[in-house]
Structure 1
Amino acid sequence: MFSVLMAVYKVLLPCALLLLAGSPMAAEKQASKTHRVEIAQMKFNPSSLSVRPGDTVVFVNLDVVTHDVTEASGKLWKSPPLAAKSTWKKVMKTSANYYCSLHPVMKGTITVK
């Protein structure tokens, strides 16, 4: 009888420890972050940003004129016009170059890695 109890103990103890420890995959997964890009003086600041997949980038127009944020090809995504003090959020899944279609000299890059 004692040997049967020991055998059950040897099986159940590791299972219980695994349940208490949680999933190793959950420990590796990091919470998404929010990053801020300010639009001021006809520039995106920072003009280059590195984020993780699923991170959110908030574009804040601190300029006195309207701007937008357009993915370089113009096919993947584009913000609406952002009046002064407006914001726009984009969850990043892939890297992208972007610009202001109203002021094409304004450019930026977001690298997702």
Structure 2
Amino acid sequence: MGSLVKSLRLPLLSALLWAGNGVASAAEYQVTIAGMKFGSPSAELHVGDVIVWRNDDIFRHTATARDKSFDLDLPPKSEGRMTLSQAGAVDFYCRFHPAMAGKLDVRP
């Protein structure tokens, strides 16, 4: 029984130390498309966070990075998810409606 307690204690201790070391967990943010406009992305984006792109319009849209790092096709009343993989500023737009545009500022 003593060895079982020891074997359970070490992973639990490791998990507690890892959770308390200041490493932030990934967050999920939503960018809604409505009225032929992108909603404002959060200013608190970090690598590893997830963006849910939600198209509430009756028209098909895309969320397309100008640097080609992502391109999500969003039919009407749908959503798409992506995980942020690199830090930096990324301009995005809709391929079907190029005047629809925005910017993601992703921190490490």
Category of TM-score, reference length = shorter chain: 0.7 to 0.9
The DSSP-based 3-state class of the residue aligned with 1:111 is strand
* Pairing partner for 1:111 from 100, 105, 108: 105
Unaligned ranges ≥5, structure 1:
1-18
Q: Take 2:30 and 2:16, find their aligned partners in 1: how far apart are those partners?
A: 33
In the alignment, which residue of structure 2 is the partner of 1:71?
65
* Pairing partner for 1:97 from 66, 88, 91: 91
TM-score, structure 2 as length reference:
0.75
TM-score, structure 1 as length reference:
0.72
Aligned length: 92
CA 1:98–1:20 in structure 2 vs 1: closer, same or farther (change >3 Å)?
Answer: closer
User: Once superposed, which parts of structure 1, at least 4 consecutive aligned residues long, lie more than 3 Å away?
Assistant: 19-22
- Answering whether residue 55 of structure 2 is matched by residue 61 of structure 1, we say yes
**Mapping of residues 1-113 of structure 1, within 5 Å:** 19=13, 22-23=16-17, 26-27=19-20, 28-46=22-40, 48-50=41-43, 51-73=45-67, 75-80=68-73, 82-94=74-86, 95=88, 96-113=90-107
> How many angstroms does 1:26 deviate by?
3.6
Calculate percent identity across the aligned residue pairs. Answer: 30
Unaligned ranges ≥5, structure 2:
1-12
In the alignment, which residue of structure 2 is the partner of 1:15?
none
Report which of the two has the higher share of helix. Answer: 1
The DSSP-based 3-state class of the residue aligned with 1:79 is strand
Structure with greater Cα Rg: 1
